[in-house]
Amino acid sequence: MAISFFSKRPLIILCFGVLSLWFVLEWVLFGLISHMIGVFPTVLVSIFKGGFGIILLSIVLRRFLGSMRSGLFNLQNGFRGSLMEPSLAVLGSILICLPGFLASIVGLALFAPSFRAMIMGWSRKKAASDTIDLAQNEYHEVRRKR
């Protein structure tokens, strides 16, 4: 029964594989770091890293909410800024808060402006390739009856 369940769900297998690989890499990285500096200092570094991530998350969220109050991301008038860049910074600070060192490495990478620009450029290319341009006479508006 389990084989037929997983054979119909390739996304579940992919997610399970990625999570398993992530766990193994975290375990190996924790073992390497604890072998180099000791178990107790590794645990202390992990605790301080989580506290630093929480402080970083509060700073990023405060800056993000301040920019929303100033009208940088006004939904009625259209965007004057991108929501993706602060969202990546928030995700990076959340990853730093999580236990483990691999998540922190990915979180710190999300704070690098060049890495965020690379991700945003990749997503813009993907969105631009999926965009369909129509002339004004090629579409019409459909309204729902309420």
Contact 49, 43 (CB under 8 A): no
For 54, other C-beta atoms within 10 Å of its C-beta total 14
pLDDT of residue 141: 72
- Token pair 């999300």 in the structure block, residue: 110
The predicted-structure confidence for 21-66, as pLDDT tens digits, reads as follows 999 999 999 999 999 999 999 999 999 999 999 999 999 889 888 8
pLDDT of residue 9: 77
Cβ contacts of residue 81 below 8 Å, gap of 6+? 67, 72, 73
DSSP 8-state symbol, 137: G
Cβ contacts of residue 46 below 8 Å, gap of 6+? 99, 100, 101
pLDDT of residue 100: 86
Side-chain-side CA neighbours of residue 109 (13 Å): 9
Share of the chain above pLDDT 70, in %: 75
Question: Would you list the domain boundaries of the chain?
Answer: 38-128
The predicted-structure confidence for 2-28, as pLDDT tens digits, reads as follows 555 556 678 888 889 999 999 999 999
In Å, how far from its chain's centre is CA 45? 23
Q: Tokens for 112?
A: 């690098």
